[in-house]
């Protein structure tokens, strides 16, 4: 999976967390990376850091809920590096809320970022891989399979992405565009830390619940993403790979 390549990969939400780690892994394998993020300054800073490490990278602004901006980000990859071979969507938010009082605007915002955005990102990327083939990887969650309280919009959207993965995979297979997803359990990122500090979840209970006894690290997820982008996964499409330390398998009290 670390074999040198010359791919061009667009990483949405690549300025921090899982996305930043994905970018690092891809650059270390010889890929050229475009970081797309809502925060343009952070996207450019992350791209600069990748270039300082010896890689080729560029940073662009993108609000993933805007299909036009997703198109622009995909075209920016082509303009910068001549083509597009892969798309990874790591953009996301977390905002637990009691369902009975969940404001409609919060529901809509969550679905817009977690479900509509991945579709726009995939669509924009696929148009530029239509003649050459490529690979798309979504970041979903164990919440695509396991329901958590106070996360109705999040769980529904992630389940939607799992099915979107399958639909796009079978539609675009003849174009040699593979579509897969990686679904982590809790990952030790800034977003997870904020939820722990806010009391939305207990780190001790997470560790007790996961058979491997720890939170996932961004690198655990990035390894799965880089595998699914690679030729080692050339016959893998329409799948959700859960990087969860055994969370979904564990049903014992």
The residues annotated with a catalytic role in the active site are: 154
Angle between helices 67-81 and 117-127 (to 10 degrees): 40
C-alpha distances in Å from residue 44, one per residue of 20, 36, 50, 63: 12, 9, 10, 15
d(CA 61, CA 156): 27
d(CA 134, CA 121) in angstroms, rounded, equals 14
Note whether 249 and 52 are within 8 A (CB).
no
Q: Give the C-alpha distances (Å, rounded to integers) separating 217 from 21, 150, 222.
A: 10, 24, 9
Q: Return d(Cα 58, Cα 123) in angstroms, integer.
A: 21
């Amino acid at each position: 999976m670390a074999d040198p390549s010359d791919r061009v990969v667009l990483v949405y939400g690549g300025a921090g967390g899982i996305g930043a780690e994905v970018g690092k892994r891809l650059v270390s394998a010889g890929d050229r990376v475009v970081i797309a993020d809502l925060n343009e300054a952070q996207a450019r800073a992350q791209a600069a850091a990748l270039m300082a490490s010896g890689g080729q990278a560029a940073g662009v602004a993108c609000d993933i809920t805007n299909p036009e901006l997703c198109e622009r980000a995909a075209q920016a990859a082509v303009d910068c590096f001549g083509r597009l071979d892969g798309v990874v969507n790591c953009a996301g938010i977390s905002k637990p809320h009691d369902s009975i009082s969940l404001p409609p605007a919060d529901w809509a915002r969550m679905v817009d970022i977690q479900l509509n955005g991945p579709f726009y990102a995939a669509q924009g990327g696929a148009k530029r891989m239509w003649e050459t083939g490529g690979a798309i990887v979504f970041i979903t969650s164990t919440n695509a399979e396991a329901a958590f309280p106070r996360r109705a919009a999040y769980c529904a959207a992630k389940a939607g992405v799992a099915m979107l993965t399958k639909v796009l995979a079978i539609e675009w297979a003849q174009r040699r565009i593979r579509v897969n997803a990686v679904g982590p359990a809790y990952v030790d990122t800034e977003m997870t830390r904020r939820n722990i500090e806010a009391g939305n979840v207990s780190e001790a209970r997470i560790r007790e619940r996961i058979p491997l006894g720890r939170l996932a690290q961004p690198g655990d997820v990035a390894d799965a993403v880089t595998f699914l982008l690679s030729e080692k996964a050339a016959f893998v499409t329409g799948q959700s790979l859960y990087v969860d330390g055994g969370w979904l398998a564990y049903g014992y009290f």
